[in-house]
Every structure is written in C-alpha cells, then in structure tokens.
A and B are shown apart, each in its own frame.
Chain A
Amino acid sequence: MEKSAQYSLVEDGAGGPRLMLSGTLTLAAIAPLERALHTMPGPIASIDLSGVEDIDTVGAWVVLQFARAHEAEITAASEAAQRLLGAVRGIEPGSEIHPPRLPAWERVPVKLGEKVYAARAGLYGVVGFFGQILIGAASLARNPARFPVKALVHQMELVGVTALPIIGLMSFLIGIVIAQQGAVQLEQFGAEALTVNLVGRITLRELGVLMTAIMVAGRSGSAFAAQLGTMKLTEEIDAMRTIGISPVEVLVIPRIMAATFMMILLGFYASVVAIVGGAVVGELALGIPFWTFLARIQEVVPTHDLWVGLIKAPVFGLIVALAGCYHGLQVRGNSEEVGRRTTMAVVSAIFAVIVLDAFFAVFFTEVGWG
C-alpha cells in the first residue's frame, strides 16, 4: 500500500480552524500534501501533528513553512518531529539554488562587455605565452644539457609516426578524388592528360599540407590542449613550478618543436601519397600507365611548388601546436573547461591555418612562384 499524508480542518473557535495532519510526512509522500497546503486559504490557528506516523526533515520543513506563513502554532508533535523541526527551524526560508541571472536586456551588453575584456586579456595572454616560449627557448639554448630530448622524441612519435596510417589513407583518397573528378572535367576539352598537372601541383602546393595541418590539429592539437588542461587541473603544472621545472621548457617546447618538424615530413608524405593515389586512378581509369604518370609529374610540376608546400608546413605545425598548448594552459576551474578549451584550440588552429594559407597563396603567386 502506498503511504500518504492526509489532512483535515477542524473548527474549534478561536483564531481560525485547526489543521490536523496525519499519515506519512516524508519526502516520498509529501508532494500532494504540499500542493494542497500551498493553495489553502488562511487563517489557520494551529497545526496538530498527533496523527503523524512518520516524518523526516522534508515533512518538518513543509510543516514549518506552512506554520510560518499562517503564524500558526504547531502542537502535539512527537519527540522525533520536535527534533526535526528544531533542526530546520534555524534556516531562513528561500528557494534560490541557481547562480544569479540578469534579465536579458542587461545580460546581452554585460556578456558583450565581458567578451571584449576577455579578448583583450586573451591578447595579453597570447603575447605573454610567446614571451614565455622565447625565454624558455633561450634558456634551453644556454643550457643545452637541459634540453628534454626524450620528451621531444616521444612527441615526435605521437604527432608524426602514429599519424602515418590515417594521413596516408586520407591523402591517398584525396589523390584519387582529384584525379577522377579532374579527369571528368578535363575530358570535355580533350585535355585529360593535364590530370597529371592538376594532381601534382594541387597536392604539393595546397592540399597535401593543408589537409595534413587540419588532421594534425584534430589529432595532436586537441591532445595537447586536453593533456595540458588536465595537468593544470590536477595541479601537476603547479607542482613542476614548485620544484623549479619550467612547464614551458619540458611540456610546451617539445610539443611545438615536434609538431613543427613533423608537419614538414607529414606534409611531404601526404603529397607523395596523394600523387600515388592519382597515379592509381590514371592507370585504372585514364589509360595512363602508373610509372608514366609519376615520370610526367617530374616534368610538369615546377620545383618551387614543392618549396611552397614545405615552407607552409612548419608554419602550420607551429600554429597548431601553439594553439593547443596555449589553450591547454589556460584551463582553470573544472573538467568542462578542458573540453571547451580543447574545442577552442582545434577551431582556432584550423581557422588560422586556412587564413594563412590564403595569404600564402597570394604571396607566392606575387613573388613569381605561380
């Protein structure tokens, strides 16, 4: 049988009726009673608890709030009920448990202002972060023995070697798509032989490095942010500082160097695999033999295309690593912040990479490497 709380009103003259409560006044059974009490009109002179079989702090709280609202007297409370009433009596009524929230017309300008201040603080933060890295690099240059070789090699493995399969697969597929789609369009001009130029130039100049940078941002930039952010939360970074180890030297610089250096290799590798993918399509769909395709690449792609890609790659790697490490070290507070900062690291890195890529495209064409 469900336990429940009952009530009845008894008229006995002076000051208003008496409220008789009975049954179970506990959390599990209180909801209907509380609703009824909420709408009950006054005045109520007293509340009689003689019929109450079971009561907990929730029951005591509801009774007490009702008594307060009607200035009613509580009578015939059992010993247990008195104890519980006593425990909650000292607490002022109120129901605010959410953080204070401004009305919308105030909140929008306040949020906007906060964003502007945050942007300024972010700018200071980035400049300060660059400064820290320069100082860290300089002090490592003065004490080469302190250089964290192991960490660097480990990061190079994580950023570079373990990324080979996924970047290889991605580039191979991109090579296939460019060759196949390009051939369909060029065929209309009877120029499907130019598919070789298309694949060779676009992968070496643009897509090999750009797609690799995006992939590294997703794989490693996010990992940097999450790792450093978690270390920040667990106070590992503070512990390092206390011992006198610079987190920039042992955590940030190896990651930045690893990403910068491995991006060159990964970008070149991606371009080569994409060309191979194009050559496979050439062999299977266009009637250009595989080795002829590769030999034609040498003839139609100018060397400066290779340089364009290889110059962009380390810059992109640097940006991805900087964004990851910077956002990781900005984490404070709670675990949600780690996720937020990781997202920011990836988004800002990819955005910066694409903006810079556009700049590079114009720049290299203007300087005659078109």
Chain B
Amino acid sequence: MSGSVSSPDDAPPIVVEGLGIRFGDFVVHENLDLTVRRGEILGVVGGSGSGKSVLMRAIIGLQRASEGRIDVLGHTITGVDLDRGIGVRRRWGVLFQGGALFSTLTVGENVEVALRKYYPDLSPELRQEIARYKVMLSGLPESAVTKYPSELSGGMKKRAGLARALALDPELLFLDEPTAGLDPIGAAAFDRLTRELKETLGLTVFLITHDLDTLYEICDRVAVIAEKRIIAVGTIPELIATGHPWIEEYFNGPRGRAARDSHARAKG
C-alpha cells in the first residue's frame, strides 16, 4: 500500500479539470470540470448521449482524454498507463451498465478474480470466504454464490456486479445506471443497499442514473451534464434554483414532480 501516501484523507477523491474528449471531429466533452467530495454519493444526470458513461470511462482510465487532467485518489490518471501503473485501480470498484459479469465463471468466482490478481498471498480458503461474503453482503442469497450469471435475473445480476465491484473493499465506487431495468421494488432495494454500503464501508460513490427516485432518495449532490460540460453541481433544490431550462424540465417535468412528491411524502 504505497499509493495512498500522497493523498491526505480529506482530499477530494475525484478531480476533473478542463477535460476534453472527442471522437474524431465529434466533441463529447469540452472544458469539463468536476470535483467529487469524499464520502458523498454524487449522482450524474444528463440526456441520452450527453456523455455520462464516457465521463465515467475517462475517470476509470478506459477512455483517453484529448485535453485536461483527471486526478483520482491523489493520482493523475490522464496520460498514464494504468496497466503499468500505480495501483490505483485496486482502490476503486466499477459496476457496468449490463453487469458485465464474466459469463463462464460463477458469481463467487467473478468476485474472486480481482482478489486473485491483486492479493496472490491470500490463502485460497480465505479468498473464497471473502468472495462468498461479498456476494451475500450485496444482498444475494447463499445459493447465488455458485450460480452462473445466465442463471440469474436482471436484478440479481446487478447485485452480483456490485459484489464484484466491492471485491477489494474500494474507497470509490462507480455505478453506471444501477437501477435501470429493475422493477420499482428492486430499484428501491438497490438504492437502500447502495446507501447502506456507502455508510458502513465509508465509500464515495459516483453514480450515473436516469432514475429520479434514486436522485431524490440517496444522492447527496447531483451533477448535470449538458452542452458538453457539467453545467451545475449541487443538491436538487440548488440545481432547480439555477433556473437552467434543461434542469428545469428535468426536475419539474411530470416525472420529476412525481418523484419529488413521493420523496416529500416519505420524509414528512
């Protein structure tokens, strides 16, 4: 554990400055700035195709930035080969949109992959124990541990993906539309689980979502991507107060109002 020395514990885990990403002539992001605070759940919203997933891929080093700089957990990601790198990968976990579970491995074996790669000195027994309790910590029944992804329902796949993201006890968790495609009960349960895990494990969560309920229920702050950059970051009332037309329509549209009302009812 040499990596964490350079970052004091209260430094923001993600800092993006002046990020520019383009595919050929097509500009996805231009001069995008974003800071994620330690210990928060930051929701990222934006229209389809506004580059939410691209931003996440850039932060986790899967997408090269054309300009700008990204610091994650005190390490500069841009211009660095993460394969030969700095061990920062083992300090974050990623849940991809479709789960992206390795289809030829059981759920437990999926979780074990990263443990095996980064901590070969763990005894196999302990490694398997860890993998197993991570799966159950993600709210799956014991019987799911030895099942293959194709035998799981959509909601269970997301939980299995979450277990894999949590395999290394990360400080930082990236969730790409975790509740998309889940039924309302499953989505609410997943939101609760995210919140609980964040509190028990002390996680910082970067959460891309279209789900207004998720935004109201569990996000500490929300960042809005539009016009190729982050146009506003803040709590939902703060965002609405900016009066930006897109934000206005997003939160004050029929779905936005319904989510807000149900949130208000639940609170009061």
Hey, which bits of chain A sit against chain B, CB under 8 A? 2-3, 24, 26-32, 34-35, 38, 56-58, 61-62, 65, 80, 83-84, 86-88, 91-100, 333-336
Contacts and interface: CB of A to CB of B under 8 A. Distances in A.
A97 B133 contact: no
Contact of A336 (B103, B109, B122, B134): B103
A100 B122 contact: no
A88 B121 contact: no
Nearest to A335: B103
B87 to A, nearest CB: 9
Contacts of A62: 126
Given A65-B129, A83-B200, A335-B103, A97 B1 contact: no
Contacts of A335: 103
Contact of B123 (A31, A86, A91): A31
Contacts of B112: 97
A27 B119 CA distance: 8
A336 to B, nearest CB: 5
A27 B243 CA distance: 46
A334 B142 contact: no
Given A97-B128, A98-B109, A335-B103, A3 B121 contact: no
Given A3-B1, A84-B200, A87-B200, A95 B136 contact: no
A97 B106 contact: yes
Contacts of B103: 333-336
A334 B200 contact: no
Nearest to A65: B129
28 contacts: A26-B1, A27-B119, A27-B130, A27-B168, A28-B119, A29-B1, A30-B122, A34-B123, A35-B123, A56-B169, A56-B201, A58-B169, A61-B129, A83-B200, A88-B137, A91-B137, A92-B142, A93-B129, A94-B132, A96-B108, A96-B132, A96-B146, A97-B128, A97-B146, A98-B108, A98-B146, A333-B150, A336-B103
Interface in B83-112: 103-104, 106-109, 111-112
A28 B147 CA distance: 28
Nearest first, the 7 A-B pairs at minimum CB distance are A97-B108, A334-B103, A56-B169, A95-B128, A95-B129, A31-B121, A87-B200
